[in-house]
A and B are shown apart, each in its own frame.
Chain A
């Protein structure tokens, strides 16, 4: 039987192992720092933070949970994309297929839907906490602005996803929502000064959003692309900025 500690040493000191792992696991202050610094997922954190920042009653964990909810919707959303076709003839049938035939299809859809709702709620509570602790104050003003844009995109992501099941709830909820676009001043056919500018029901803000005058097949494709490509890319980029700014602005806020 080979000597285990020698074998371990051989593995740990091999070029392959060292190319992947930069430090060992001994609990030393240096390793605690490296654990964060040498890990692509963890290095969003600084190696050390002020003691109050780990207190639950200060942060409520809401920003982190929002991010977790986002990750859940991304993973479950991609799984749903394997089974779903954004075509008016098939969309609803694919929902039924997911519900009854796809293994774990319904729970994937449920998790996608409830995580999205959870994300809306936690992003509100996150904003609430940040306001209550005055954490938007200097030097974090700009990150608050980024956060407000993230809040808006979160709502838009949920809203564009609402149409995709192509059931009664979808098309009428989206009808209500997009009817407001028709009333946009200057850009909507029924909004103030719309006639002055010359917009018509076929050529106004709502028609641009829906690709037509009604919530129909072109709207389904547009909302699908918005929901699965455009808005997720946008929100990911802004999240990177948001998290990066937290570190650049001196970490999580606290009494100075």
Chain B
């Protein structure tokens, strides 16, 4: 009775297509059906955790010594994705702005994803963009960066294979250049033709304005864009492009040794 009051619209879980809705929702008692599952699950997890804790000791290194810096100096593993981003971005961007955007970006998901389908069941076909983006962000940008940070980074934060010995003498200094000093732009910087910082600024403005242009071209043609509306679309586009800036920046660094795209006296991007 209490339930009926709370969920007036409750409907059965499994329902064949086209079937009319039965009057009585398909429900089971929590005691014992759910409590039993929870209890068994808790026992299994506790057994695994206890055996694991008996077999494997938590790490404890030598006493803290502020005069002896280890190389590499790694953050806890769940933050190594962030530390990995420090390779490609300035600390203020990799360490503060991007993590904040990740948290805020996750929080706004329910408000920008207005697709009513796929609520409460597994589906890919009904929400391909949402799921593809999330999978990319979760596996490629978060889990794989953590794996890289844990297993493939050694002294000098250089790439090492897990089976390689960490020989600090192997470390070859990478010569990374900023975009204004790179390849075709080099002649502009020396002698300085005009404010070379403008190139980076223009590139970044161009990068983010693609979404605006796309919006204006497609606003009458695409149902998805029309339903999103300008504000939601703007947030989606900004978050998506900011997320994609990480793989783009990583590619520029690894392929062309480009360090920063936009240099200013106050910050670099």
The answer to whether B68 touches A49, judged by C-beta atoms less than 8 angstroms apart, is no
Which of A1-9, A12-20, A179-187, A231-239 is the contact stretch?
Answer: A179-187
| B244 contacts A by Cβ under 8 Å | no
1/0 per residue A135-173: CB within 8 Å of B?
111101100110011011001001100100111111111
Which of B102-110, B167-175, B194-202, B215-223 is the contact stretch?
Answer: B102-110
The answer to whether B14 touches A51, judged by C-beta atoms less than 8 angstroms apart, is yes
The answer to whether B91 touches A190, judged by C-beta atoms less than 8 angstroms apart, is yes
Minimal Cβ-Cβ distance residue in B for A140? B110
| B245 contacts A by Cβ under 8 Å | no
| Contacting residues, chain B, for A49 (C-beta < 8 A) | 27-28, 30, 34
Would A114 and B38 be within 8 Å (CB), given that A137-B119, A183-B92 are in contact? no
The answer to whether B109 touches A35, judged by C-beta atoms less than 8 angstroms apart, is no
The answer to whether B90 touches A183, judged by C-beta atoms less than 8 angstroms apart, is yes
| A226 contacts B by Cβ under 8 Å | no
Q: What is the count of residue pairs linking A and B with beta-carbon distances less than 8 angstroms? A: 254
A190 to B268, CA, bound (A): 12
A145, A162, A256: which contacts B119 (Cβ < 8 A)? A256
A237 to B136, CA, bound (A): 32
| B125 contacts A by Cβ under 8 Å | no
Quote the shortest CB–CB distance from A252 to chain B (angstroms): 8
1/0 per residue B91-129: CB within 8 Å of A?
110111100000100110111010111111111000100
Within 173-204 of A, Cβ neighbours of B (below 8 Å) are at: 173, 175-177, 179-185, 188, 190-193
Minimal Cβ-Cβ distance residue in B for A163? B64
Quote the shortest CB–CB distance from B170 to chain A (angstroms): 22
The answer to whether A155 touches B78, judged by C-beta atoms less than 8 angstroms apart, is yes
| Contacting residues, chain B, for A145 (C-beta < 8 A) | 107, 110
Which of B4-12, B176-184, B235-243, B253-261 is the contact stretch?
Answer: B4-12
| Contacting residues, chain A, for B56 (C-beta < 8 A) | 110, 114
Quote the shortest CB–CB distance from A145 to chain B (angstroms): 5
Would A172 and B69 be within 8 Å (CB), given that A50-B13, A65-B45, A192-B267 are in contact? yes
1/0 per residue B34-76: CB within 8 Å of A?
1101100110011001101110111111111110111001111
Would A168 and B61 be within 8 Å (CB), given that A49-B30, A120-B78, A148-B106 are in contact? yes
| B163 contacts A by Cβ under 8 Å | no
A188 to B122, CA, bound (A): 44
A179 to B18, CA, bound (A): 59
Interface size classification for chain A = 35 or more
The answer to whether B30 touches A45, judged by C-beta atoms less than 8 angstroms apart, is yes
With most chain B CB atoms within 10 A of its CB, the pick from A140, A151, A177 is A177
Quote the shortest CB–CB distance from B124 to chain A (angstroms): 9
1/0 per residue B143-162: CB within 8 Å of A?
00000000000000000000
A182 to B58, CA, bound (A): 30
Minimal Cβ-Cβ distance residue in A for B106? A148
Quote the shortest CB–CB distance from A27 to chain B (angstroms): 9
Quote the shortest CB–CB distance from A169 to chain B (angstroms): 5
The answer to whether A165 touches B96, judged by C-beta atoms less than 8 angstroms apart, is no
| Contacting residues, chain B, for A127 (C-beta < 8 A) | 106
The answer to whether B25 touches A177, judged by C-beta atoms less than 8 angstroms apart, is no
| Contacting residues, chain B, for A61 (C-beta < 8 A) | 37-38, 41
The answer to whether A136 touches B31, judged by C-beta atoms less than 8 angstroms apart, is no
| B134 contacts A by Cβ under 8 Å | yes
Quote the shortest CB–CB distance from A51 to chain B (angstroms): 5
Q: 8 closest Cβ contacts across the A-B interface?
A: A180-B95, A52-B13, A141-B110, A183-B91, A110-B53, A113-B58, A192-B267, A253-B120
